[in-house]
Amino acid sequence: MLLTRYGFREWFIISLIAATVAAVAVSFAIYWLLISIGVLWLALASFFRDPLFRRPATDNPADLVSPADGLVSAIIEVEQHPATRGMPATIVRIYLSVFDVHINRAPCACTIEAIEHAPGKYLDVRIEESAAVNEHLLMRCATTKGVPFGVKQIAGKVARMIVNPQVVGNALTRGERYGMIKFGSTTELIFPRANIETLMVTKGQRVKGGVSVLLRAHS
């Protein structure tokens, strides 16, 4: 288990504050405060954890893995979407609580075609409306076969910082880390309906980023 590089600033600040308060606690022999600071530091630092040795659950390149850890909160059919160049699409929405790993991973081998950031509100991501009106970042990609799809990072009531250092033209491998959303949030996979052979998850199912298969595309 590592701490993600996307959280270096936060856990450095957390560590500095914790060390300062701990020094004061030791000086005044306030040992209960020392224990409390230690527990709080572990809780906050764990948010930026980055699990090692994750591999897709199958070796089939047609299987798209989850872009995030969390709970499948909705599976939505839409008649068009910018990520699929206006074609009908299936959206798999994943809710990330503050206890989930918040690293985002590429669902499949792909090339980034566009990155579109949109400011917005900070509603609780458990509210249906939040996916449409909250601040978000849509990364539009194409598979190695040229199929257009998207992954969307959505900020929430607590999560107010979307991290995505990618640039247009970058190539990602299946399961590769591409960013994170800091604290509770939502991530969506948007894929053309006509290119889906089998949907592999259901609403209410827990998934693991870079491991769990969300859908199988036509070969």
Report in angstroms the alpha-carbon separations of 195 from 7, 112, 138.
Answer: 36, 19, 20
Residue stretches of the chain with pLDDT short of 50: none
Q: Report the pLDDT value the prediction gives residue 6, as an integer from 0 to 100.
A: 76
Please classify residue 50 by burial: count the beta carbons closer than 10 Å to its beta carbon, then call 0-12 exposed, 13-18 middle and 19+ buried: middle
The three-state secondary structure class of 184 is coil
Q: Report the pLDDT value the prediction gives residue 145, as an integer from 0 to 100.
A: 95
Is the separation of the CB atoms in 179 and 162 below 8 Å?
Answer: yes
Residues catalogued as catalytic: 185
Q: Report the pLDDT value the prediction gives residue 156, as an integer from 0 to 100.
A: 73
**How much is the pTM?**
0.88
Give the DSSP H or E segment for 25.
Answer: helix 8-27
Report in angstroms the alpha-carbon separations of 2 from 51, 178, 212.
Answer: 6, 16, 21
Q: Report the pLDDT value the prediction gives residue 83, as an integer from 0 to 100.
A: 97
Give me the amino acid identity at 11: W
Q: Report the pLDDT value the prediction gives residue 123, as an integer from 0 to 100.
A: 73
The arrangement of strands across the sheet holding 162-163 comes to: 103-105, 177-181, 162-163
Distance of alpha carbon 126 from alpha carbon 122, whole angstroms: 11
